[in-house]
């Protein structure tokens, strides 16, 4: 069965795409169309970035091309390979850590990769797709496999596809996919005056 009831129970109104988005472990093996994938990466393209540097790149593989897919899968840690192998699309998010114009460190680069991923994720949600992002990758393996140049680093991975049957997962992952979504209260991270002092804007409800 598909995990249901995962729409966020928000304390304040948000856009429905934010409330509906979540990261499944169970994926259906139905392929994602090339037109949908193009639109996901187009959404990433239009994310904001410091000085318009656009420090992100993606390496993508679909299960329809088995050898490239297995190659990218091998760049994930073993625990992520166990479930991500069922997704029809995998991608690595690569970040350029230096500004292209002057070679200085770009402190915003990873932040900006996240913004690009956020755009991609919400475009996917709008199209009925799901994305599960992972930090559990093998950056050195990715560098060797794909010839990623110095100054760039594989930072995250993404599994993209349609939500699948929770029963296809090992027991612990079934529990994760079926569990209710939980988040900190906004008052736990929005402060005024001093660290840890909740802003009156987000006083406990």
Tracing tokens 């987000």 back to the chain, one arrives at: 202
Q: What is the CATH number of the domain that holds 140?
A: 3.40.109.10
Going 27 to 23 to 114 to 155, the CA torsion angle's sign is negative
Q: What is the pTM of this model?
A: 0.93
Residue 2 lies in a domain: no
Tokens for 70, please give them: 């297995």
Residue 187 lies in a domain: no
Mean predicted lDDT score pLDDT of the chain: 94
CA distance 155 to 138: 9
DSSP 147: T
Residue 7 lies in a domain: no
* 34 contacts: CB under 8 Å, gap ≥ 6: none
Residue 201 lies in a domain: no
pLDDT digits (tens, 9 = 90+) for 82-91: 999 999 999 9
Residue 5 confidence class, pLDDT cut points 50, 70, 90: low
Using alpha carbons only, what angle is made at residue 172 by residues 75 and 30, rounded to the nearest 5 degrees? 60
Residue 64 lies in a domain: yes
DSSP H helix total and E strand total for the chain: 7, 4
Residue 173 lies in a domain: no
Residue 204 lies in a domain: no
pLDDT digits (tens, 9 = 90+) for 92-118: 999 999 999 999 999 999 999 999 999
pLDDT score recorded for residue 179: 87
Number of domains the chain is built from = 1
Among 3-7, 38-42, 83-87, 160-164, name the one with the lowest average pLDDT.
3-7
Q: In which domain, by residue range, is 130 found?
A: 16-165
Asked if 46 contacts 39 with a C-beta cutoff of 8 angstroms, the reply is no
């Amino acid at each position: 069965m598909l995990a249901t009831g995962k729409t966020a129970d928000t304390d304040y109104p948000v856009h429905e795409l934010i409330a509906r988005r979540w990261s499944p472990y169970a994926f259906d093996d139905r392929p994602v169309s090339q037109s949908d994938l193009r639109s996901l990466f187009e959404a990433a393209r239009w994310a904001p970035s410091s000085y318009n540097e656009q420090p992100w790149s993606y390496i993508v593989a679909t299960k329809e091309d088995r050898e490239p897919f297995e190659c990218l899968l091998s760049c994930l840690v073993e625990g992520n390979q166990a479930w991500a192998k069922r997704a029809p699309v995998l991608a690595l998010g690569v970040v350029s850590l230096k500004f292209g114009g002057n070679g200085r460190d770009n402190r915003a680069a990873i932040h900006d990769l996240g913004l690009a991923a956020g755009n991609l994720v919400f475009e996917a949600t709008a199209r009925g797709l799901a994305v599960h992002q992972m930090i559990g990758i093998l950056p050195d393996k990715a560098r060797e496999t794909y010839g990623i140049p110095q100054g760039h680093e594989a930072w995250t991975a993404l599994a993209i596809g349609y939500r699948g049957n929770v029963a296809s997962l090992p027991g612990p992952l079934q529990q994760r996919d079926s569990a209710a979504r939980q988040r900190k209260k906004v008052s736990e991270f929005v402060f005024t005056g001093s660290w840890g002092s909740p802003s009156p804007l987000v006083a406990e409800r």
